[in-house]
Amino acid sequence: MAPCYNEAECLTAFVRRMQTAAEAAVGPAYELILVNDGSIDATWTVIEHLAADFVHVVGVDLSRNHGHQLAVTAGLGLTRGDRVLIIDADLQDPPELLADMMALMDAGNDVVYGKRRVRHGESAVKLSTAKLFYRVLSSISDVEIPQDVGDFRLISRQFVDRLNAMPEQDRFLRGMVAWLGGRQAEVLYDREARHDGKTGYTLQDMLKLATAGLTSFSTAPLKVSVLLATAGMVIGLLVIIYTLIAYFFGAVQRGWTSLALIVVFFGVGQLGCTAIVGAYVGRIFMQIKGRPLYLIQRVVRGPSMDREV
């Protein structure tokens, strides 16, 4: 299954390559689910045409843009196969890797994920920030999350069902899959530049995903707030001791420097702690509302897609 946001230019090429790879790896018993995540270009029109022309294509149109992770979640909820491949439609991840993934799953693995060796067509800033994010997440996460790994992976039916049973609102799927445990293996590959068009994954989307990853799988930020509060109390105690000694020995220092430093330190510490706690409270607020993770507007299938896959 593939989430699609403004992918009209590359969808046809993606479907052709994906179908060739699927038929070589598994034969004719498969379906290709394309989830339109509220695209503002002709993506849904292209998906409708592809569903009419290719019997294996299933088109899913979400009611609005829900974001990459929820678009993937919607697709997973509609899958029927014994194994499910998650792949983006921009052809940066090679569909041809499916055969190698299938072989590793035949060997007894529950999940086979693609690990990037090289990432072509991406800026130095994005590469460096992504590398930093994965290193920080790996160091503070409560579960072991593979580094330099996206959502490109093959998942067994059992693990897909377990993912679908997890009701988290702010989803970080690569962390959720890692949390499930089981036998997981990697396949190394070189990530290509986009086939066509421009990425719809903005800086805001990346920051949102990073926040979800850090707060969903680690309590380290809360521990940082405790450390800041402890450091503030220690420094405050030292300032009190210094002030009393200076008072009794007649060496009180007058001026704004020390006062400004104290105010800035405690002010920044309090704001930092409030921000960290607020991030967790916000996630709790979104979760307890219990709204649906996504809303599907319509689904289109080829005429022969009623058979089991």
Residue 13 has pLDDT above 80, yes or no: yes
Phi/psi of residue 118, each to 5°?
-130, 145
Query: Which residues, listed in sequence order, are joined to residue 281 by a DSSP beta bridge?
Result: none
Residue 252 has pLDDT above 80, yes or no: no
Residue 218 has pLDDT above 60, yes or no: yes
DSSP 48: H
Q: In angstroms, what is the C-alpha Rg of the chain?
A: 25
pLDDT band of 90, cuts 50, 70, 90: very high
Determine the pLDDT at residue 274: 76
Nearest CA among 223, 226, 22 for reference residue 142: 223
Residue 306 has pLDDT above 60, yes or no: no
Mean pLDDT of the chain: 81
Determine the pLDDT at residue 307: 46
Determine the pLDDT at residue 216: 66
Better pLDDT: 244 or 118 = 118
**CA atoms of 21 and 156, how far apart (whole Å):** 18
Residue 159 has pLDDT above 80, yes or no: yes
Q: Rounded to two decimals, what is the model's pTM?
A: 0.71
**CA atoms of 78 and 264, how far apart (whole Å):** 53
Q: How many residues does the chain have?
A: 309
Residue 215 has pLDDT above 50, yes or no: yes
Phi/psi of residue 271, each to 5°?
-65, -40
**CA atoms of 148 and 146, how far apart (whole Å):** 7
| 3-state secondary structure at position 187 | strand
Residue 199 has pLDDT above 70, yes or no: no
Determine the pLDDT at residue 12: 95
| 3-state secondary structure at position 156 | strand
The model's pLDDT over 46-57, given as tens digits with 9 standing for 90+, comes to: 999 999 999 999
Determine the pLDDT at residue 170: 78
Determine the pLDDT at residue 182: 93
Residue 119 has pLDDT above 80, yes or no: no
pLDDT band of 291, cuts 50, 70, 90: low
Please list the alpha-helical segments (H only) found in the chain. 11-26, 43-53, 68-78, 98-106, 124-140, 157-164, 173-180, 203-216, 220-248, 257-288
Residue 308 has pLDDT above 50, yes or no: no
Q: Residue 73 has which token pair?
A: 């979640």
**CA atoms of 188 and 294, how far apart (whole Å):** 32
**CA atoms of 36 and 148, how far apart (whole Å):** 26
Q: Residue 218 has which token pair?
A: 């680690």
* 105: Cβ contacts below 8 Å, ≥ 6 apart: 83, 112, 154, 156
**CA atoms of 110 and 183, how far apart (whole Å):** 5
